[in-house]
Structure 1
Amino acid sequence: TMVNFTVINIGNQTEELFWVSLSTVVDHEGEFLYEEVANTSTRLVNGETSTTISLTWNPDWEGDFDLIITVDSTGILAERDENNSFILPVSVGPPEQPGGFFSSQAGLFFGGGVVFLLIAAGIFLALRLREDEGEYDDWEDGKEDRFEGEEVTNFEDFNDDVVDEQDYPTWREDDGYLWRELPDGTNQWWDEEGQSWNDYQA
């Protein structure tokens, strides 16, 4: 069964690669069984704000399922106001008897019984990936607002005061964590849950 859906980005433009997964959840004798059945990588390029993805799912159970689509399933992208999953209840019936047109396929039904599944799910990514130019502009605006109407004679003192707002070199490790290097040579890692930089402890 082919599952088609559309991913829409309403945040800042990014061309960074991210993963999209298709999973199933079934209630089996009171125990919820979760299984990722398909995944693929994609990216938004050339100023695109949406992309259509197709994943193949071959049901191997009969009964009621929750079909879950997850965008950025590996947590690569830094985001704000995440809404990255879409859940769709489906029901899988027994295969057709031999000789039927769909004898090798399990029937996939939406309540009344539709054979093919076509999902048009707009999953909104409010990406908080900041481009270097945008960060610098924000920093300059903050400096101007802070000293509006004042004569600044010592910018070294000013820079010391706003050290936390400066744009330091950043990179992302294979484990998905975002790192930055401070002028003194020490490194900090970004705590996505706490929304703060933390010193690296060797």
Structure 2
Amino acid sequence: MSLVPAVSQLVRSHLSTAFPGPVASASVTFLGTQPLEVDRFGPDESGLVRYATVGVSAAPMHPPTATVLDPLRGPRAELVLSLSSPRDQVLRSLAVLAATPQVEGLVLTAGATVDLQQPLWPGARVTAVLMGDAGGLVPDLDLPSVGEGAEPVRFYPVLPMTPDEAALARARGAAHLRQLWLDAGTDLRDPERVSVLR
């Protein structure tokens, strides 16, 4: 019996406790991958919209060098993007990011960068993302029902980057870029923001 529906249902229920409010969902399937969904929550009372993936965590992530793919053990992740106004065209871009563990063997974790080399939504200045620290926005989701040894699902904030910010993160490290954002008071949730390097 597949664990995919069971884990996805647990993830969706967990997300609904973190982000109450109306939910819309879009499903995307890439050749050779399990279906991935992106749920939209909000806007909430402060106007924030959350986009969260559902389906990445259906299976543990393994690097391409792994010789044995353990169906139970290994890190599990979902992605959460927060914006101050809706950009529903980002759904497909998030699905592309969510598919990278299956397609490219990428293990999604804090500090990882993924460059789509195209706008995250039409007209966006941001073309890449930095994975933030899990646990702050959405608590980890334990999976005791999946089996002994199953790691919890961790929910990583997706921090959009402009091309020059992504280049800086690769050259100087994610911590350097995050400090620049902090020093400049950059609102990473603003879909219209410009690069911190301008």
- TM-score class, shorter: under 0.3
TM (norm. structure 2) is 0.23
TM (norm. structure 1) is 0.23
Indicate the structure with greater helix content: 2
Indicate the structure with greater strand content: 1
